[in-house]
Structure 1
């Protein structure tokens, strides 16, 4: 019986938009591209999610990607939490599943630094029964290990769980493990919440 819902965060309950953040700085086109490639489009970003770097070494690694843009990278890094914010429907969606008696968890690829600087944005996680951040576990979706950590830590039966994620490869891996993985698309919350109106 379905009694558990697992949420990815970015692009499901949170907007993640690095371009929105970058546009604040009014960089020229060449600098914009170099900083974007050094930070958001780099392997270093994914490695931050995987817990390879702490807050200081992550910044240093970004700078190594484009040393001539050090000042600009530091500028962006200081305001990095500006690339995430909560969707208007997030609290309502959590309330909906709670009212249906579901246990609620998160499973998110997230870096330590972004976690620590976006605590206000993530305050809604206090309503959850638990969850897993990738940086703490040193592994990321769609690696099988991170799903198993969540399932075992919270005694979740795969066949009882829904998993929403915006990436097909992540929901596909969930289905391989017996979880009902559903790829999130914009507007899906309206279909789910229709029952409450």
Structure 2
């Protein structure tokens, strides 16, 4: 099945990652640094701690557990009130979407292409995301924290395919991280590294999902 990532068969489903695909990179880290009582010089250290603990958060640990682990790496601590505020800032930081990607989602929806979302994300973000306008484009949304697993785990692809009731060769997956792209291909999906909405549109046109430019 590992060769499906380079095949030319027209996919039925298009599956998107969220972070830095639909969204812009988080803008929250300076505010998070300030809320932790640190100055701008600590931004690099806060960023390192934030991302070092992110996998556990994406796999389902709760908000306070995550922020306590981040704070411990920085030699400090957080209470429940601060944890709630940091979570609010974090969700807001990942909520700024890329207009070009939203346009692509609208084009795919108008073409009748079924869309799914597969995102490594904590539960707090997932609940907010489900209420957004962009989420209405998706027939299925799958968040890692709800499953207790995350990309690139082998099992998560089985869950995705069960949710959308599709065979892997009928799916085209976009993600900004190469390990996730490689894992999707190993599971039999067509998969491409995200390089922006214009590149994705070219890929979709080449596979017949969207009409060629001269047919628009």
Conserved? CA contact 1:10–1:108, under 8 Å: yes
| Contact 1:63/1:70 (8 A) holds in 2 | yes
What's the counterpart of residue 55 of structure 2?
A: 46
**102 and 135 in structure 1: CA distance in 2 versus 1, 3 angstrom threshold:** same
Query: How do residues 64-83 of structure 1 correspond to structure 2 at under 5 angstroms?
Result: 64-68=72-76, 70=78, 74=83, 76-83=86-93
Residue in 1 that maps onto 2:104: 93
Matches within 5 A, 1:1-197: 1-17=10-26, 20-24=27-31, 27-39=38-50, 41-42=51-52, 44-51=53-60, 53-68=61-76, 70=78, 74=83, 76-84=86-94, 85-117=96-128, 122-186=132-196, 187-189=198-200, 191=202, 195=213
Q: Is the 8 A contact 2:28 2:93 kept in 1?
A: yes
Instruction: Give me the TM-score of the superposition, normalised by structure 2.
Output: 0.75
SS class of match (2:99): coil
Shift of 1:96: 1.5
State TM-score, norm by structure 1: 0.82
1:30 is displaced (CA, Å) by 4.2
Q: Give, in angstroms, the shift of residue 161 of structure 1.
A: 1.0
Structure-2 change in CA distance of 1:118 and 1:156 (3 Å): closer
RMSD (Å), alpha carbons = 2.6
More strand by share: 1
| Secondary structure, aligned partner of 1:89 | helix
Q: What are structure 1's unaligned runs of at least 5 residues?
A: none
Shift of 1:81: 2.0
Cα drift, residue 9 of structure 1: 0.7
- Any conservation in 2 of the 1:106–1:132 contact (CA below 8 Å)? yes
